[in-house]
Amino acid sequence: MFCQYRIWRSIYSDFAAFPETDLDDETCHAYEVYTDETLREIRDHGFNGIWVHAILAHIACAAPFPELSPHAEQHREKLRILIARAGKYGIKVFLYIQPLRAVPLREKRFWEKYGDSVGGSEYPDARALCISTETVRNYLERLAENLAEELPGLGGVLLITASELPAHCYSHRQRKNEQWGITCPRCAEREPSDVVLDQLLAFRNGVRRKSQTMEIIVWTWSWSMWGYQAPWREFLDRLPPDVTVMTDFERGGFQDYWMHPRHRIDEYCLSFAGPSEACSKTLEYAGKRGMKRMVKLQFGTTHELASVVSLPLLTNVARKIRACRELGIDGFMGCWNFGSFFSANTAAAMYFLNCDAQLDPDEALRMFVREYFGPGCDPSRVTAAYGMFEDAMHYFPFSNVFIYNAPVNYALAYSEVYSPGPAGSAPCGPSHLDVHPRGDSLAGAADWQKAGARREDVYSMQEILETLPRLCDAWEKAAAALQDALRECGTENA
């Protein structure tokens, strides 16, 4: 079935990456956010799934470490409420999980009791449960079995194994790396793919003891950090075909930007229509293995641009959906942890998913804007304005270093911070996290060496200073053209 799963997330639900206690987890509070009204709105906008961040040991309980699950039943009670309520609107609940998250070092009794017998790589505030031990493999399998047994109405799980948060012994660890070297002697003798597959297979086997229908979605995000490349044969060849593969739509692609021809895309990206070659390879290979296939998309805005409601790049949204049709995907996850607002972008995505598959993307866009903006809309002028926005984005200095470290996300809020005079040494800080004091130094926006990036993937400060005025000028012209094209429209959408 084409695009069976269309998964969304509310901007008001707290991902809670660093909870003070397990009762602060999103699994305990998502039901408060996803009210009947919210779920009805999600359904009416064309989505049939929502995802919630979960820590497996907090919602499932198993021997030999039941002490890691002190309030598991409370988590499950709240999730059952959410699952039942969402089901009334034809919406499935998916849990986003790292199997297994590292155990905090503050759990002193646990580590005094078990220590090196199950402990693996150490991180600043936590230590991994080493999957290379039979004890941990069996524990994970029992946890997954308990999850499937206690939450039979769950739509599925989204499993990420190369995540930024400490999990297994190879989380942000490599064999030969002075700064990020692996510290577990057992896993250091193994391939990273072996460690990851031990986790995935233990989880899958546990779930399948109780459920043959629960979706087990494996995300290929950043498996490249260990030196592997799409189509990830080292992983997919050893996964059973009842596992669904999800891959990033844009990462690994190339886009021509001003002064940066064939610039590498290593983040979610609306200015690049995609798909990347890596995405296409992965989906093709997974299809040959008989697996369902999903993609990670971003419709409303782009990751780390958390303060932007919507980037109006509908032409590329149309092209993305056309490509998804051609690839025959089984579903997508449509936003990241900060969620997204509903907008013309999301409305357009659903319109393109449901319209005639043979329509040219440009013609589909003209039909959409006529319907979306209503009487008084001149589709040709509106689509031309959207094309101007797309052209303007060719001046955006796209690089992860700039997106993460420049003040583009909250410049207006910085009006009292930036003033004439020498800048300090403290960086701006990312808009999507508020974990460090914010400063006024712009240096990090172009410092490829400190970020550990490739020089060719990063814009110099001089290039940034040359591109941004052009971006602003082109963007203002596009905005004026769109405003003028919608002047005669009296609808709310306009």
Report the distance separating Cα 304 and Cα 308, nearest Å.
Answer: 9
pLDDT tens string for the chain (494 positions)?
A: 689 999 999 989 998 888 889 999 999 999 999 999 999 999 999 999 999 999 999 999 999 999 999 999 999 999 999 999 999 999 999 999 999 999 999 999 999 999 999 999 999 999 999 999 999 999 999 999 999 999 999 999 999 999 779 999 999 888 777 777 899 999 999 999 999 999 999 999 999 999 999 999 999 999 999 999 999 999 999 999 999 999 999 999 999 999 999 999 998 889 999 999 999 999 999 999 999 999 999 887 765 566 677 889 999 999 999 999 999 999 999 988 877 889 999 999 999 999 877 778 888 999 999 999 999 899 999 999 999 999 999 999 999 888 888 877 666 565 666 677 788 888 877 766 666 677 788 888 888 777 777 888 899 999 999 999 999 999 999 999 999 999 999 899 99
Whether the bond into 70 is cis, omega within 30 of 0? no
- For residue 326, count other CB atoms closer than 10 A to its CB: 11
Position 307 scores a pLDDT of 67
Structure tokens given for 179 = 């700064």
> Model-level pTM?
0.94
CB atoms within 10 A of CB 379: 18
pLDDT of residue 416: 60
- How many Å apart are CA 359 and CA 81, to the nearest integer? 41
pLDDT score, position 336: 85
What radius of gyration, in Å, describes the C-alpha atoms of the chain? 23
Length of the chain, in residues:
494
